[in-house]
Every structure is written in structure tokens, then in C-alpha cells.
Amino acid sequence: MENTVVASGFSPRVPLLRVRSSSTEIYNYNKQQTIRMANSLVDETTASGAYNRPPSVFRNFVSRDPTSQFPAESERYHLYMSYACPWACRCLAYLKLKGLDKAISFTSVKPIWEKTKEGDEHTGWIFPVSSAEEPGAEPDPLNGAKSIRALYDIASSNYSGRFTVPVLWDKKQKTIVSNESSDILRMFNSEFNDIAENPALDLYPKPLQAKIDEVNEWVYDGINNGVYKCGFAIKQGPYNEAVTKLYQTLDKCEEILSKQRYLCGNTLTEADIRLFVTLIRFDEVYGVYFKCNKKLIREYPNLFNYTKDIFQLPGISSTVNMEHIKRHYYGSHPSINPSGVIPIGPCTDYSAPHDRERFGS
């Protein structure tokens, strides 16, 4: 489990940032320990050859309390995201499901990483120059930023971590509220209900919270982050360990979904959205690109129909841009795919009928 500490001696535009610490590292700005800027996710590997995802740094929270530092207000916040990124797309899925996409604006970056700044070799998320340059992507409408990295520079003069999406941006204070998708999901679920078009939808209901947290933990470790641990492993041992756990966890999901419509029962919850964003990318990308080819999602009857079921929820299909997904993965990591060639298939039709109604609505 990860712990939370408060970092001081840091100079963003907001007073405090909470920084998570793992069992191996603590990021303490008082001691002038900074997060290493990686050129790409491939660089985040340990000496053992295993992939190790760094923690998010901006961990502030929007609150329904009007006196809070970041009160929930219509048209105050903006979600910067990428259709390629599963972590960002689960936030967009919440905007759609909760009916917040009119109150909280959003912008997608281009799918393929490019150099973010003259003078170094860092590659990352870039905004198009115009809306005509890249279908599905838009220029930054708020700050005129050329890259996500530039937004981090605006929010903090001495930030040296990874320049990731999603970014929840406060238009009033011109700063990053949060770059941690799990926190953003909780904000969107409960804190904006006074302005949401679908406030009754609760994806983190109190009676199921302990169960959701438990499921989230093993799904994240085995599947959400598990596919990355497979794909970015640079030695056989860590890959074998990760891929074994991945398929054990997929088998566990398949068994659960043979008995109920969703992961935590017959009610759609946060756990389902978090799993869905990985499943929808699996056959098109992870099975090939991340060497997760033992078995594809379409070979699991329950997981496959479950994926179609969630894809067909109102608004969810609009969060899936398979062209952006495939172009990003196959085109942004030259150490994995030097040629940048994109496989043509399998082009699965997730709008096809599914059998999940057998468990009821």
C-alpha cells in the first residue's frame, strides 16, 4: 500500500501538494530530493529490469464546500486528457456518465509523443497547432500551451517529475489541482453533484466502498498496471512474473463475471470503469505490443461481453478513440517499436450485442 506525506519547500501556485511514498522511495522536497524526469515510461525500470510506475504529485481535491480552496463550481475546471491514455479516459468516462461534460470542459492532446521543449530530448504530450491538424485533438484553449509539460511549468517553477495526463486544471488560480486519476474520479463522483446532470449516479456507494477498494487494488496491480509491467520489462524474469499475475487476475475476473453483471455485484461501480479502460485496449494494443498474447479478451466469454456492455453505456463509446490509442502506443516508444508500424486489426465491434442482461439491469 502507498502512504501519503505532505511535501513542503515546494513552490507551486497552491500551498500544499501531497506526495505519495512507496516502500522504496520518498519524494521529499525539503531534502531537495526531486523526481527524476524520465524521457518516457520505458525509462521507469529498476535495476532488476522491472517496470516501476512513479507516484502522482499534484494531489489537491475539489470540494463541494464553497469555502474550500478548490470549490466545485460550474465552468471553473478543465480536464486535459489524451484519448490514448487509459488513466485519462476513465476521468472522461466519469464526465460523460455523471453529466458533467457541460460544467467541466476538456481538451485532448495529440496521440503521438513529440519533443516538448527545445534544448532537451524529453518527449511527451503535445497540443496541435490547430483543430484541423489532428482529428480529436485541440489546441490548448486556456493557456495557449504547446505541451502538457508547459502546463506543469505554469503550475510550478521547480517541478521535475513526469508530465502526465490527466490534468485537472483550475481556471481561476491557473494551476493544477490534481494529476492523479483515482482522486479525480472521486471528485467527479460526489463533489460536483449540485451541477451534474446525473447526480443520482453513485459509482462509489457507501455499502460497497470496502469491496470497491479491495477490487481496485488487485485489478490495478494485476491488470491496469500489470500490462505495463509486462510491456516495459527489460528482463525475462520480471516479465514472467508480471504476465503470470496478469492472467491469474484476468481469470479471476472471468470467474466473478460468470456469476454477476459487474465486478462488485449487479451494480455498476468505479471498479468497472477502471477495469474497462484496460480491457478496451487489450486486444488492439496490449496483446501485441506488450506481449500479453497468451489469451485475448475476445477469448474470454464473460470479460468480452462485459466490455461490450460497458462500451454501450450512454456516453462511453465517445471516450474510446481507437485510432488515437493505436497511434500512441505503436508510435511513441521507439525502443519497443522502432519502425512505428501499426497493426491493422483486429477492429473488434464493441457495439455488437452482448449477453449481460441475463443478470438484470
Q: What is the pLDDT of residue 36?
A: 41
The residue from 85, 230, 253, 264 that is catalytic is 85
292 is catalytic: no
- The string over 169-196, giving b where at least 16 C-beta atoms fall within 10 Å of a residue's C-beta and e elsewhere, is bbeeeebbbbbbbbbbbbbbbbbbbebb
When computed from its CA atoms, the radius of gyration of the chain, rounded to whole angstroms, is 20
CA pair distance 183, 75, nearest whole angstrom:
19
The residue from 228, 306, 329, 330 that is catalytic is 228
Task: Say whether 272 sits in a helix, a strand or coil.
Answer: helix
Cβ atoms of 126 and 146 within 8 Å: the answer is yes
Q: What is the pLDDT of residue 49?
A: 62
pLDDT tens sequence across 207-249: 999 999 999 999 999 999 999 999 999 999 999 999 999 999 9
Nearest C-alpha neighbor of 215 from the set 282, 272, 297, 278: 272
Residue numbers belonging to the annotated binding site for glutathione: 125, 162-165, 180-181
Cell numbers at 25, concatenated: 522511495
Q: What is the pLDDT of residue 313?
A: 98
How far, rounded to the nearest angstrom, does the alpha carbon of residue 221 sit from its chain's CA centroid?
Answer: 14
**In which residue ranges of the chain is pLDDT below 50?**
1-38
Neighbour order of strands in the sheet with 167-170? 105-108, 77-81, 167-170, 175-178
Question: CB burial class (10 A; 0-12, 13-18, 19+) of residue 154?
Answer: middle
Cβ atoms of 3 and 20 within 8 Å: the answer is yes
262 is catalytic: no
Nearest C-alpha neighbor of 51 from the set 336, 334, 296, 332: 336
